[in-house]
Amino acid sequence: MRKIIDELDEGPVLDAALIGAAQKVEHYEIAAYGTLTSMLKAMGEIQAADLMAQTLKEEKDTDELLTQLAESEVNPAALGKRPANDQTKGSRGAA
């Protein structure tokens, strides 16, 4: 992530790149925790498997939140398009 921060100017492109980098980490964690959950189940370590599955769910939830943030706001801004929820422009200032 340091390299991304050093190479890009502050703004929506950097934000999009940082979200992508964070999602790489989440996907790595999902793979690791998913494998561990399966292995613990196979070993009969059900309590530990349940705990690992909770952590796995947290990682998936975080990944989904990052996707929602990227798709709703950051990616459109990075591409020079108005975010779907941006109400700072448009008819509001017509008075």
CB nearer to Fe ion: pick between 29 and 45: 29
| 1, 18 contact by CB (below 8 A) | yes
83: phi then psi, degrees, rounded to nearest 5: -60, 150
| 4, 25 contact by CB (below 8 A) | no
Residues 29-88 that bind Fe ion (CB under 5 A): 29, 59
CB nearer to Fe ion: pick between 52 and 76: 52
C-alpha distances in Å from residue 41, one per residue of 27, 48, 58, 78: 21, 8, 19, 43
The footprint of Fe ion on this chain (CB under 5 A) covers a number of residues equal to 3
In the complex, the smallest distance separating the C-beta of residue 29 from Fe ion, rounded to whole angstroms, is 5
CB nearer to Fe ion: pick between 13 and 60: 60
Binding site for Fe ion (CB under 5 A): 26, 29, 59
